[in-house]
Amino acid sequence: MKGGIKAWNGLKAEGYPEVAMNYFGAAASTEELVVLAWLLEEATRKLYRNISEALRDQSLILLFHDLAQGEEQHKSVLEGLYMEFAAGTAAAGIEGHRLSQSKGGDLTEGGVRLDEALQWLRGRKERDILEFAVSLEANAYDRYLTMWRLIENERSKRVFESLFRAEKQHLERLIEAFEGTL
Amino acid sequence: MGILDYFRSGSDWSVIKVKEFLNENDPDDYNLVDVRQPKEYESEHLPGAKLIPIKELPDRLDELDPTKPTITY
């Protein structure tokens, strides 16, 4: 690419692939991988819900409400995958899984802790909030895509493919909204 | 398959062309490679880019699909 990354004026991500590997490395099986992904979705849903409640602009409220709904829908997809992979042996579902209990769902998809994100967002302008969300989704897309490439297990690959494609759609909506503030 | 087989054409794509290409194509249809140093990658990289420092490239060519376009920076 002419000019290298210095010439690049598009989305950027940060951090090593190992960041995602470290997080998902806690999973001993595909079911557990799904649980960890579900926890990220849940924290991100909470974040977007909080943002939508703090905004005044109706179109942005609707956008973040939709994004929170999107995370909710994706949680449902993951719950379906979990039941499929667990072959009906997980009666308690994802929320009853030991990882759900121990991890607590406080890390968002971009790798930022939910409480820290909420604290940072307090009192910020709408444009800053959108920029933050774009950055968060870009990192989430990067990490899910990286995991999709690294993982060889076909079932696990399906999980990450579903995730990175969803993040790309979220990114497109957020970028459109962000560009509308310029 | 040698290293040059990955980089025969499109060696001077502009940022605009790369953006268009990435938007129009599925991540499964290309290799996007960051050939800088790990610290630089950590600081910032194109989303979805694979880190292969240029010194390691000759030994890690098997990680790239030679049938797909390869974009490096």
Closest Cα in chain A to B7: A1
> 3-state secondary structure string, chain A?
CCCHHHHCCCCCECCCHHHHHHHHCCCCCHHHHHHHHHHHHHHHHHHHHHHHHHCCCHHHHHHHHHHHHHHHHHHHHHHHHHHHHCCCCCCCCHHHCHHHHHHCCCECCCCCEHHHHHHHHCCCCHHHHHHHHHHHHHHHHHHHHHHHHHCCCHHHHHHHHHHHHHHHHHHHHHHHHHHHCC
Task: Give the count of Cβ contacts less than 8 A between chain A and B.
Answer: 69
Q: Which of A1, A12, A148 sits opposite B15 (nearest CB)?
A: A1
Mean pLDDT across chain B: 87
Is A4 within 8 Å of B48 when comparing Cβ atoms?
Answer: no
pLDDT at B10: 55
Shortest alpha-carbon distance between residue B23 and chain A (Å): 10
pLDDT < 70: residue spans in chain B: 1-11
Shortest alpha-carbon distance between residue A8 and chain B (Å): 6
Is A13 within 8 Å of B14 when comparing Cβ atoms?
Answer: no
CB A40 within 8 A of CB A26: no
pLDDT at A92: 64
ipTM, two decimals: 0.79
Written as tens digits, the pLDDT of chain A (182 aa) is 888 898 898 888 988 766 777 788 778 788 888 888 899 999 999 999 999 999 999 999 999 999 999 999 889 888 888 888 776 565 567 877 777 766 655 888 888 889 999 999 999 999 999 999 999 999 889 988 988 888 888 888 888 898 899 889 999 999 999 988 77
What are the structural domains of chain B?
3-72 (3.40.250.10)
CB A147 within 8 A of CB A160: yes
pLDDT at A90: 55
Q: Rounded distance, CA B24 to CA B66, Å?
A: 20
DSSP designation for B45:
B
Shortest alpha-carbon distance between residue A97 and chain B (Å): 30
Q: What is the Cβ-side half-sphere exposure of residue A149, based on CA atoms within 13 angstroms?
A: 24
Is B18 within 8 Å of A1 when comparing Cβ atoms?
Answer: yes
Q: Phi-psi category of A24—alpha, beta or left, where left has phi over 0 and alpha has psi -120 to 50?
A: alpha
> Which residues in chain B touch residue A4, judged by CB atoms under 8 angstroms apart?
73
